[in-house]
Chain A
């Protein structure tokens, strides 16, 4: 196997693993946050609007960890420095 094949295969595998493992924590966290917000909304229906807007903000911030994983996955797929190095060799 030459270096192209190794770098390409490892990049794709790395991107898949990065996205798969990186989204676990974010998904669990978002689930817990949504469950807590739903409980709070059921207990205090008067405050439902406020809780909902806070929940959206929190969810979008929790998504950030998964988005970092997504950026790294894009980086390995489309702007891989090792691939460019191997091409320029």
Chain B
């Protein structure tokens, strides 16, 4: 088996004409071994994962609760406390269960989105396969947490409420609400990348910078929305005695 590596595409600027296309992020192969190949999306996902892992490891290696708290520890503690607060506000008292998944999703998406300011980094969230995989995680987490909270009967009762006539509509909304989460993230990131690419074909110098700055804001908000919707959907079925405490 002959392995070929081709990293020349990776160094193309994002607005070179090769990237103007819908599924081109997935079709740019970096390493090809026969049928097995690694594309830009997977490679950039690894970069994001490595970045998150290294930063977390460096921070948690020497955790201090005394006077010499490192800056990284402050940042990560702020993130964790903030997400715990969000989880408490959306899902009530049993919030400790949900916030780890939401924080993981948020960290991955926000790192991937903010790394777009590196010119040749194609964000993995601008590929439909990544966002659909993230949505699939939420899709599988909904029955898991619902059954854990209210049992199988409580989870299935959600589908025949308020009347059993609405059963098909409830199933559709269960599938498409999660499907729409993935599409929303994909559409936002792809439109940011495409818009910067198209704009820099007309005005190559300063104008794309403003759009990319706007893209940083959009990327952060989209990551927040994804995590928030994941929280809302996973905590939608609660045990009957468990009320929302605000």
A contact set with B: CB distance below 8 Å:
56-57, 60-61, 63-64, 67-68, 70-71, 74-75, 78-79
Contacts and interface: CB of A to CB of B under 8 A. Distances in A.
B221 interface: yes
Interface of B: 20-23, 180, 183-184, 186-188, 190-191, 194, 218, 221-222, 224-225, 228
Contacts of B20: 78
Given A57-B225, A60-B225, A64-B180, A78 B187 contact: no
A30 B180 CA distance: 19
A60 B190 contact: no
Contacts of B221: 56-57, 60
A interface, over-half SS: helix
B228 A68 contact: no
Nearest to A77: B22
B184 A78 contact: no
Nearest to A75: B22
A74 B222 contact: no
Nearest to A53: B224
18 contacts: A56-B221, A57-B221, A60-B218, A60-B221, A60-B222, A60-B225, A61-B225, A64-B180, A64-B183, A71-B183, A71-B187, A71-B190, A74-B22, A74-B190, A74-B194, A75-B22, A78-B21, A79-B21
